Every structure is written in structure tokens, then in C-alpha cells.
């Protein structure tokens, strides 16, 4: 199993970025996936989740209305479109796999996820 994030970088406040998570080693289309982030000096926090079919998603209140999670099951890729970025969005962003196909678990609890990528740095600064 492997998850590799990309697309991070430096962006000014109000800007946009799209993160991508390339996966391999497991049947992508039957697993729920998520994004989490870790700001400097803080713990990792859950950001968003999407079910195996891509029809159901949920977001942390801090990013709701600004971030959009999506997935391409044919390409085995997970995405996070981030708009109207704020300095508080700075951190390392990780994709993660849950041993579930639905959202019928405590997806806000990061202990529920069984595989993680190595992260990509997002810095929001002028």
C-alpha cells in the first residue's frame, strides 16, 4: 500500500491550490479516503473525508465552503481543491485510507485510518 501526496507549495492569502494523492497497492474504489493536516507545533487534524463511491463527503467546519474533496476511481487518485486560502491553512497535508467503504464510522477520529501518505507542505503567506 502506498499513498503519495503532491501539489503543495507557497500561495498568498486568498489563493488556491489543488492537492493530489496518488495511490497503489490496494483496490482504490472500495475504500473511504480522507485528508488531514498538521500545522507547525500542533497535532494532526482531520480536514475532509469522501466515501468509496465519491457520492458522500464531509468537511471540518474550518474549511467548509472553501475546500472540495473529490476522487477519480479510474485513476486511483484523491484530490483536495483548496480555495480562498488563509494563513491558518498552513501545514503539512496528508491523505489517509480508512478500512471502510462508507462514512458509517467516526471519520473525524484519525485513529480510524490505517494507511497514511508522507505529506505535502502547504504554506499560505504573503
For residue range 11-53, list pLDDT tens digits in order.
999 999 999 999 999 999 999 999 999 999 999 999 999 999 9
Give the residue from 31, 90, 91, 85 showing the smallest Cα distance to 63. 85
Which residue reads 480508512 in cell numbers? 98
Distance CA 48, CA 70 (A): 10
CA distance 54 to 3: 18
Could you tell me which residues are beta bridge partners of residue 46? 36
**Given phi > 0 = left and psi -120 to 50 = alpha, else beta, which region is 62?**
alpha
CA 39/CA 98 separation, integer angstroms: 22
In contact, 71 and 54? CB cutoff 8 Å: yes
Digit-coded pLDDT (tens) for 57-103: 999 999 999 999 999 999 999 999 999 999 999 999 999 999 999 99
Percent of the chain with pLDDT over 90: 100
pLDDT at position 27 is 96
* Average pLDDT over every residue of 107-124: 98
pLDDT of residue 13: 98
CA separation for the pair 108, 81 (Å, rounded): 19
pLDDT at 48: 98
Amino acid at each position: 500500500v502506498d499513498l503519495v501526496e503532491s501539489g503543495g507549495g507557497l500561495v498568498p492569502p486568498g489563493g488556491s491550490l489543488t492537492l493530489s494523492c496518488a495511490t497503489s497497492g490496494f483496490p482504490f474504489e472500495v475504500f473511504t479516503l480522507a485528508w488531514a493536516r498538521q500545522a507547525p507545533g500542533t497535532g494532526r487534524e482531520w480536514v475532509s473525508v469522501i466515501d468509496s463511491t465519491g457520492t458522500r463527503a464531509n468537511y471540518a467546519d474550518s474549511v467548509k465552503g472553501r475546500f472540495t474533496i473529490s476522487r477519480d476511481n479510474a485513476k486511483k487518485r484523491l484530490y483536495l481543491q483548496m480555495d480562498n486560502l488563509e494563513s491558518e491553512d498552513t501545514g503539512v497535508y496528508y491523505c489517509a485510507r480508512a478500512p471502510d467503504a462508507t462514512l458509517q464510522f467516526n471519520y473525524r477520529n484519525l485513529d480510524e485510518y490505517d494507511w497514511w501518505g508522507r505529506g505535502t507542505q502547504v504554506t499560505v503567506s504573503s
